[in-house]
Amino acid sequence: MTMQSIPNPSRRNFLKIAAAAGGGLLLGFNWSGSEAAPAVLNGPAAVPGVDFNSYLSISPQGIITILSPNPEVGQGIKTAFPIIVAEELDADWKKVVVEQAPLDTKKFERQVAGGSGSIPHSWKRLREAGATARQMLIEAGAKRWSVPAAECSTDKGFVVHAASNRKLSYGDLATDASKLPVPADVKLKEIKDFKLIGSTVRNVDNPGILTGKNLFGIDFHREGMLIAMLQRPAFGYKLKNLDATAAKAMPGIVDVVTFNNNVAVVGKSTWQVKKAKDALKIEWEKADNLESTPDHNRLFKELLDTGTPTVRRKDGDVDAAFKNAARVVKAEYQCPFLPHSPMEPMNFFAHVKADGAELVGPTQTPELARNETAKLLGLPPEKVTVALTRMGGGFGRRLKTDYVLEAVNVSKLVNAPVKLIWSREDDMTGGSYRPAVRYRFEAALDAQNNLIGYKLRGVGINSGNPTREDNFPSGAVDNLLIDSVEHKSPITTGAWRAPITNFLAFAEQAFIDEVAQAAGKDPVQFRLDLLEKAKKQPTGAIKYDIDRMIGVIKLAAEKSQWGKKKNVAQGFSVYFSHRSYVAQVGEVVMEKGKPRVAKVYSAADCGVVVNQSGARQQVMGCIVDGIGHAMYGQLTFKEGVPEQKNFNTYRMIRMNEIPEVEVHFVQNEIEPTGLGEPSLPPAGAAVANAIFKATGKRLYNQPFVQEDVLKGIS
């Protein structure tokens, strides 16, 4: 059964399609936290009016199909969701087929891949769904054998009656089970009895990925569709004049249209369109400030001193603390804009017709795409369908719908089905960047080297609040002030993998290291002492779990043999973000007088680890990504125009530049939290603090390669 797209979001339609699985048991359930109990959808027991957003089905042949509702950006959710259902079902994983759901607002609530929120959102619901089906299969088996259900158990796809040494497969019992009432209460497994959860399960999409199957948005094809590419204005410009004569005359070009200061070239094939786009003669004119990177650097320093800050958190009396301080430590940290650079550039298919619109493509926010499209076209949302494709990475970029609406606009203007493609240059210069930010930290130490005052001011360009005011060390310091200033700019910004914390964590954890040094304390012990203080005498609200943070700190210190190694310089970092706790130790060795990052140890507490393979992969990927962008990533501007346009001038980390990574998890029974982001934030400081240990030089600005101590490394 494939579900490419659903014509409209009415529940009846959904059920019809789902029921097409035919025979067996079809159990609808809601994983998004609603209290609706699971219900049989294909038997006489079917209850109308219950709100489902997913299902699992068991065919008479024993094939188990599970609908995995989140868009897949590479965070492994499409594999992790079904693992949870299959665990409680006691299914044979080899017989499980995973389907990707299309968008259906009512039924696929919270269908957003972002903020590492997918797993915690649905942990209990998914387990209950699996357990419900299992219970019904047991009852069906017990009935067949006329024995009490309590005497029956399950084993990897079979209901077993041990006393009489009989067993029946789930496929054999599925149709019977569908005629039974849905049990009101089901017993969930003890976490220690998990077999599938916590094991190593491979990505369910491997077969398609490894053979080059049509999976991604950019691969989508529809007979008769046209290809479109846009020329967008740089930041602060608008369209003044367009001469498309040459472009229009080129082979394969169907039309050149304009909307919202964009020029769209539409034609038969990508290469023809790209060439015609290059042949456009466009004059732009100034419409706003034309900002350059040196302006930002100047502005940051000015605003730190003279900006009007918004207070984010205030505990105690910082002024008094700094007045009484025996010494004050001060440091500033700055990061540049970063493009998202998913390997698959933005793209989307749109077919706007008189009475509706069909959308197909990679988006992390299908519901938003639907609603905004409906608004743009003046249609009710149910006239817009959205089918999701796999995404070649998102990193936050596909939370925005600008490229979806571009496709919609073009399709409407040329009255044809259109696949819009961004070139890499478009992707890098098209905006929605990780905002550039500068932080100023000040710490007050008393005569006994206790941290008695702490100040953080963040200044960001279109950054919103660039602080996370309740993060550590908030709660551990009696006198604390965190505030921020924002500069509004025509350069667009957006969420970028681990928004804000992707750089803030570096700054905070590098600063804490510097304060520990000033206090003459071991960096790990210094953090532990602060956490102990937060536990015993908390100041203000504490929004992180102190014990879990201590747990990862200790695990990372233990695994890395913190402070016990010779010939290698270690740096420590710990961060709580997106509901998970991660501590990391970076190790640096000196080679030819230059530091080389040799190894990173990671200790994460993300609750129960659902899939060892996926979880380890996320941690390693986050560390590579975090180090890569901290070391090399930078997008600069000259009068509103990005100066890096492709991977020849925008440097991304490569295989020869990665450190060895060792991954550890805290074992516990806490409900799982996501891992698509939390291991990225601490990586920069683990490395920078190790480089300090090795060289005596602190790093304050990203990209690190431009700092003096690293100049000259290849």
Partner 1 sequence: MSVYKLQINGKTVQADVEPDTPLLWVLRDHLGLVGTKYGCGIAQCGACTVHLNGQATRSCVLPVSSVGNSKVTTIEGLSKNGDHPVQQAWNEVDVPQCGYCQAGQIMTAAALLKRNPKPTEEEIETTMSGNLCRCGTYHRIREAVKLAATKTK
Residue ranges binding ligand FES (CB under 6 A) = 74, 343, 393
| Minimum separation from the CB atom of position 91 to partner 1 (A) | 20
Nearer to partner 1, 141 or 628 (CB): 628
| Minimum separation from the CB atom of position 344 to ligand FES (A) | 8
Q: Does 219 bind partner 1 (CB under 8 A)?
A: yes
Nearer to ligand FES, 345 or 473 (CB): 345
Residue 269 contact partner, candidates partner 1, ligand FES, none, CB within 5 to 8 A by sort of partner: partner 1
Sites for partner 1 among residues 467-506 (CB under 8 A): none
Q: How many CB atoms lie within 10 A of CB 632?
A: 18
Sites for partner 1 among residues 322-381 (CB under 8 A): 341-345
Q: Does 209 bind partner 1 (CB under 8 A)?
A: yes
Nearer to ligand FES, 393 or 672 (CB): 393
State which of residues 4, 61, 200, 415 lies at the interface with partner 1 (CB under 8 A): 200
State which of residues 2, 35, 94, 210 lies at the interface with partner 1 (CB under 8 A): 210
CB 562 within 8 A of CB 524: yes
Question: Of the ranges 147-155, 265-273, 290-298, 399-407, which one interacts with partner 1 (CB under 8 A)?
Answer: 265-273
State which of residues 3, 46, 589, 620 lies at the interface with partner 1 (CB under 8 A): 620
Q: Does 214 bind partner 1 (CB under 8 A)?
A: yes
Nearer to partner 1, 208 or 464 (CB): 208
Q: Is 450 helix (H, G, I), strand (E, B) or coil?
A: coil
Token readout for 113 is: 């891949």
Look up residue 533 and give its DSSP letter. H
Nearer to partner 1, 344 or 469 (CB): 344
Q: Does 73 bind partner 1 (CB under 8 A)?
A: yes
List b or e across 459-475, with b for residues whose CB sees 16 or more CB atoms inside 10 angstroms.
Answer: bbbbbeebbbbbbbbbb
Contacts 24+ apart (CB under 8 A), 160-163: none
Question: Of the ranges 50-58, 130-138, 409-417, 622-630, which one interacts with partner 1 (CB under 8 A)?
Answer: 622-630
Nearer to partner 1, 441 or 496 (CB): 496
Residue 168 contact partner, candidates ligand FES, partner 1, none, CB within 5 to 8 A by sort of partner: none
Q: Does 583 bind partner 1 (CB under 8 A)?
A: no
CB 367 within 8 A of CB 48: no
Task: Find tokens 């602080």 and name the residue.
Answer: 467
CB 267 within 8 A of CB 418: no
| Minimum separation from the CB atom of position 207 to partner 1 (A) | 6
Nearer to ligand FES, 120 or 393 (CB): 393
Residue 126: φ, ψ to 5°: -65, -40
Nearer to ligand FES, 163 or 343 (CB): 343
Distance CA 228, CA 704 (A): 38
Question: Of the ranges 19-27, 32-40, 388-396, 401-409, which one interacts with partner 1 (CB under 8 A)?
Answer: 388-396
Residue 5 contact partner, candidates ligand FES, partner 1, none, CB within 5 to 8 A by sort of partner: none
Nearer to partner 1, 202 or 638 (CB): 202
Q: How many CB atoms lie within 10 A of CB 541?
A: 11
Distance CA 474, CA 454 (A): 9
Residue 462 CA: distances (Å) to CA of 363, 400, 437, 491 = 23, 15, 9, 8
Q: How many CB atoms lie within 10 A of CB 257?
A: 18
What DSSP string runs through 158-204? EEEEGGGTEEEEHHHHHHHHTTSPPPS--PPPPGGG-SSTTB----T
Q: Any bridge partners for residue 587, and if so which?
A: 570, 599
Sites for partner 1 among residues 390-419 (CB under 8 A): 390-395
Residue 613 contact partner, candidates partner 1, ligand FES, none, CB within 5 to 8 A by sort of partner: partner 1
Q: Which residues contact 438 (CB under 8 A, 6 or more apart)?
A: 300, 301, 304, 332, 333, 334, 335, 458, 459, 460
Residue 609 CA from chain centroid, whole number: 17
Residue 230: φ, ψ to 5°: -115, 150
Q: Does 213 bind partner 1 (CB under 8 A)?
A: yes
| Minimum separation from the CB atom of position 458 to partner 1 (A) | 27
Nearer to partner 1, 380 or 647 (CB): 647
Nearer to ligand FES, 118 or 154 (CB): 118
Strand duo 96-100 + 54-58: pairing: unpaired
| Minimum separation from the CB atom of position 74 to partner 1 (A) | 3
| Minimum separation from the CB atom of position 621 to ligand FES (A) | 8
Residue 210 contact partner, candidates partner 1, ligand FES, none, CB within 5 to 8 A by sort of partner: partner 1
3-state secondary structure 385-420: EEEECECCCCCCHHHCCHHHHHHHHHHHHHCCCEEE
State which of residues 53, 203, 509, 689 lies at the interface with partner 1 (CB under 8 A): 203
Distance CA 136, CA 143 (A): 11
# binding residues, partner 1 (CB under 8 A)? 62
Q: Does 199 bind partner 1 (CB under 8 A)?
A: no
List strand residue ranges (DSSP E) for 551-671, in order: 569-577, 580-591, 594-605, 637-638, 641-642, 660-665
Nearer to ligand FES, 43 or 393 (CB): 393
Nearer to ligand FES, 24 or 393 (CB): 393
Binding site residues, partner 1, CB under 8 A:
72-76, 200, 202-203, 205-207, 209-216, 218-219, 221, 227, 251, 269-272, 341-345, 390-395, 423-424, 613, 617-618, 620-625, 628, 646-648, 652-658, 661
